[in-house]
Amino acid sequence: MAYKQKAQSIHAGTSSHKSALKMAAASPNKAATPAYGGTKTWEEGMTASGGTLNDLVAKRKGLKKGSAEYNEVQNKINKALGSKKVHSGGTPSSKPYAPHTPKVDVEKKGGKVTATETSARGEKDSTTVDRKGRVRKTVDQTNRSTYNPDTQTGSSGLGMQTTTKKFKKSGKSKKTKTTYSMGTDTKKDDKRTVTTMGKRKQKERTVDPSEGKRGTVTKTKHYTKGKKAGTSKTRVRKKGQLFGRKVDVDYS
């Protein structure tokens, strides 16, 4: 019994070859007659478009008909083929960017209510109020990382800057603590500043592990009342040494 060979398909070959053959089979007279209601043949349109007419048609296939992007490509095709028809307007083919909606968590503990809001960059800002609605504590975070994944520039060695404030029942500030994270899991390399408000002076203590072999601890007293009002005293401990100096502060 003789084997009857199947007729070879005109679509045989590589994928790009198949696409070209399909286009030619679909429009056999494309090179000889005006196309898309224009005044030029396909060959003339190729010349007018600088050889990009096929690319424009291929690009149009991946766009939603009636969209702004589709209309823009179609207008280029029409212009190349001598058509005066122009498509205007249209809606974006993709969904518009949806801004991040912060996540808010509410926690009740010991008669106090804490509302925490988390941003897209992982920053957490919270406010704690007591039963009478008085603010007793706030936490504000700032993501200090400047790394840009698109350009691969900036610093990724910086973490969160967290400022925690505690308030008295009267609403006056009691204590403020600011921590500058270095973006690592350990807290030993984080810089910390604690500010305490008193009746006559404001105390400030800063620990900076990055300075010196053992780090640096700076203690400052800002006098707000009495004979010493308007002055401050600073003591710095570095490598086991302790020394102090008096500094004049202008509060105006």
Shared domain for 224 and 165, answered yes or no, is no
67 touches 57 (CB < 8 A) = no
Per the structure, the count of domains in the chain is 3
2 within domain boundaries? no
193 within domain boundaries? no
7 within domain boundaries? no
Percentage with pLDDT > 70 across the chain: 69
128-177 residue pLDDT tens: 999 888 999 999 998 888 776 666 677 767 788 999 999 998 888 889 99
Q: What is the mean pLDDT of residues 106-134?
A: 89
126 within domain boundaries? yes
Rounded distance, CA 40 to CA 27, Å?
A: 15
pTM of the model: 0.50
DSSP symbols for 32-60: TSB-TTSSSBHHHHHHHTTS-HHHHHHHH
206-238 residue pLDDT tens: 888 877 666 888 899 999 888 888 899 998 887
Which domain range does residue 237 map to? 198-252
